[in-house]
Chains A and B, each alone.
Chain A
């Protein structure tokens, strides 16, 4: 996930906001809101929940902006705030609520979509909600967001082998879920 090269850099905007130009923060929100909403919606199983989580994360990031050690790396720092927010949401939820939420996840409306493809996507998202948050996260970052294991490890400050172990457990659980509910 790289900073947008159109217009001012992330670092410039952060420094301007810290210097008092508050409204420029909207440029950062605009730049990253959709990208991170996808991560949040797959983690939380609901676009509505993702909307709330992304909003909360941006508000918190603004409040803590002075603590962003490297303004040029705002996006990575912001991701951790959003991640914490998503994990906190998971801990609050009762298990059956995640299934209800998964049932409402829009399965991607595409003009060339068949009902069968939509159903498979919905089933997979429902199965993802049965994983632990850590397993779901590594799956989403690799297979939805397209990051490599190395990039994920850097982002989460962990090792590639431990990520692979998490992911391989996730694959097995997904297979089990999809077979059980086929």
Chain B
């Protein structure tokens, strides 16, 4: 009896989610894309929401394509590609042993990393660091950015994983692309720059910060008015 009730509630919740998704998609696309694209995104988006995937990336891609005056068939292809990337990212995160349902922002971050050139197994590796969701999300975004700069996948994963394991906060993670670019400006290849930073991160995780160049003390939190 209880299982039946739970099953009914799950079906209702999914139906409500799907209906919600349809209304959100229709509202956001109204007047922005052609009717055929709107219909396609509604169909793909509802199915994606049913699988626990975020819908926003599909909507964004459809609006982007229309804004850029891309023919409808190519917009359709691009939206389908986004769905594939989201599915790949979700599978990669499940392979890392993350609890379900997965965080949709985390899935979107993983999909971005895939857009940038990383593979499913790279996403799995980063998610396996065991850090809190909020940090993994930033880690995946930073990994995608590093890949977009030209850092090869394995060096990207090594650097981001070492930084996450070293418990560097989101703020520090976000500085990694800039640090890599600084090293590149000095003549290092993207791979060399990332590898050097990864070694430093790993050493810091093992031994703590070096005595002469420790991280600055965190300033006190601002007083609330």
Contacts and interface: CB of A to CB of B under 8 A. Distances in A.
13 contacts: A2-B225, A3-B225, A5-B224, A5-B225, A8-B222, A9-B222, A9-B223, A9-B224, A9-B225, A10-B225, A11-B225, A12-B222, A72-B225
Contacts of B223: 9
Interface string B182-225: 00000000000000000000000000000000000000001111
Interface string A165-181: 00000000000000000
A interface, size bucket? under 10
A12 B224 CA distance: 11
Interface string A1-42: 011010011111000000000000000000000000000000
Contacts of B222: 8-9, 12
Contacts, number: 13
Interface residues of B, number: 4
A30 to B, nearest CB: 17
Question: What is the predominant secondary structure among interface residues of chain B facing chain A?
Answer: loop
A58 B40 CA distance: 45
A12 B220 CA distance: 13
A3 B223 CA distance: 12
Interface of A: 2-3, 5, 8-12, 72
Contacts of A5: 224-225
Nearest to A72: B225
Question: What is the predominant secondary structure among interface residues of chain A facing chain B?
Answer: loop
A12 B222 CA distance: 8
A5 B222 CA distance: 9
Contacts of A9: 222-225
A82 B222 CA distance: 27
Interface string B138-152: 000000000000000
A11 B222 CA distance: 10
Contacts of A12: 222
A86 to B, nearest CB: 25
A5 B224 CA distance: 6
A9 B225 CA distance: 7
A10 B223 CA distance: 11
B5 to A, nearest CB: 34
A8 B224 CA distance: 9
Contacts of A10: 225
A62 B182 CA distance: 34
Nearest to A5: B224
Nearest to B225: A3
The 4 A-B pairs of least Cβ separation, nearest first, read: A3-B225, A9-B222, A5-B224, A12-B222
Nearest to A10: B225
Contacts of B225: 2-3, 5, 9-11, 72
A3 B222 CA distance: 13
Contacts of A3: 225
Nearest to B224: A5
Nearest to A4: B225
For B222, B223, B224, B225, the residue with the greatest tally of chain A CB atoms inside 10 Å of its CB is B225
Nearest to B222: A9
A11 B224 CA distance: 10
